[in-house]
Amino acid sequence: MDTLIRIQNLSYAYSYSPPAIQQINLEIKKGEKIALVGSNGAGKSTLLLTLNGMIKPDKGQIFFHGKPVTYDRTSLRTIRQKVGFVFQDPDVQIIAPTVWQDVAFGPVNLDYSDEKVNEVVQNALRNVGLEGFERRPPYHLSGGEKKRVAIAGVLAMDPDILILDEPTSMLDPAGSEDIMDLLDELNHQGKTIIISTHDVELAYPWANRIILMEKGRIIASGTPDEAFSDKELVRRARLKTPILLELCQELINRGIKSPMTFPRTALDIIRIIENEHHGSIRLFDEGYGTIHVGDVDQLSGVQVTEILAETICDTVGVMGSKAKICARQWGITPDISYAVIDKCILQAMNGRTSAILTTGGMAVRVFERVTMFNQTNNRSIPVRSLTDTSNSKPEAD
């Protein structure tokens, strides 16, 4: 993987204060999902602000694409375009009187032509699921919608890296899940994403790298289970062990065979227990439930409603911003809108039928994920596409 940002021996202190960050060494690779975890005042925000040149470090150097970052006007512009920063408080970030104007702020200042501005703003708004909000003034939006506007404003500048400072701190749980799902979607589109948070339950299943910070220093950096397994580190960073990890450790203490990888989701835990149990804990006579996958690009609202009525799905999951908009328009209330695939597999293992509504690229991901799950676990959960119901052949064995 390409290294996007390399940080060497970085230190910075706000005036009249002890150092906010010191001796930071870090490498950020393309396509990573990094969560910077630490208590309040651990230096997360300061570290993030150095990444796009908002703070000039006292000591040390930052390399962007292998070249050292300089702090003159033109190079700052380049780095700020390539490293998008979303502030914790969207009220601070939203500067224009309408959603459209705010999202267009960056592109206009990058001297795009009028047509291009229009195009990128439309794309950004579609990406975050805010089509049709163009003329709305931001003070009329909900917290989650404001956050989306802030993200769209940064996306419109087409950054390689997206930095979000405490993306879910001001949102309700459902809103947080929506934003995390959106971040997954953006990561899937090729953006590198860095978030800071002190919500371990949020960071643990989402990130593929966790960086623990304490008093301005990085004390651990690694996969989520590595970072959170060391109880001493977690205590020093003033955090707590994620409940899934704790559960797994307690199971191991009680003699259940230690798994190859630590569990990240409820599905993983169930698998560990089932392995110990030598087979399914309980399987209905009908066998596994089917997972139906519908592509909202190829289906109309009426069709979907009809199909859902016919197939009698126990759960309906919606994945991705576009599918969520469609579902809202068609009056379908999704039961799941986050970590949809895993939850549907769980349902299927329990003999229940489910349907996932999503868009083209992600529909393929559903098939891949379920097929992989079937292969590694010797299962045969059937996945069917709703789009070609005519031949209705099972896609996975």
Residue with tokens 């560990």: 272
Question: Do the Cβ atoms of 179 and 152 come closer than 8 Å?
Answer: no
> Site for other proteins (CB under 8 A): which residue of 28, 117, 244, 318?
117
What phi and psi, each to the nearest 5 degrees, are found at residue 192? -85, 135
Give least dist CB 100 to other proteins, A.
5
Q: Which is nearer to other proteins, 149 or 318 (CB)?
A: 149
Size of the site for other proteins (CB under 8 A): 36
* CA-based radius of gyration for the chain: 23
Alpha helical stretches, state H, the chain: 44-51, 73-82, 90-93, 99-109, 114-127, 143-155, 173-188, 200-206, 224-229, 231-236, 243-253, 266-277, 301-311, 321-329, 340-349, 360-377
Question: Do the Cβ atoms of 65 and 236 come closer than 8 Å?
Answer: no
Q: Which is nearer to other proteins, 109 or 375 (CB)?
A: 109
- 324's enclosing H/E stretch is helix 321-329
Q: Which is nearer to other proteins, 118 or 221 (CB)?
A: 118
Q: Which stretch binds other proteins (CB under 8 A): 39-47, 106-114, 225-233, 334-342?
A: 106-114
Give least dist CB 154 to other proteins, A.
7
Residue 131 binds to other proteins (criterion: CB under 8 A): no
Q: Which is nearer to other proteins, 140 or 282 (CB)?
A: 140
Residue 107 binds to other proteins (criterion: CB under 8 A): yes
Contacts (CB under 8 A) with other proteins, residues 149-188: 153-154, 157
Residue 104 binds to other proteins (criterion: CB under 8 A): yes
Of 362, 327, 339, 343, the C-alpha closest to 289 is 343
Phi/psi zone of residue 320: left (φ > 0), alpha (ψ -120 to 50 degrees), beta?
left
> Site for other proteins (CB under 8 A): which residue of 26, 96, 233, 247?
96
CA distance 143 to 256: 43
Residue 141 binds to other proteins (criterion: CB under 8 A): no
Q: Which is nearer to other proteins, 62 or 341 (CB)?
A: 62
Contacts (CB under 8 A) with other proteins, residues 12-71: 52, 54
> Site for other proteins (CB under 8 A): which residue of 95, 283, 364, 372?
95
CA distance 254 to 374: 28
Binding site for other proteins (CB under 8 A): 52, 54, 77, 80-81, 85, 87, 91-98, 100-102, 104-111, 117, 134-137, 139-140, 153-154, 157
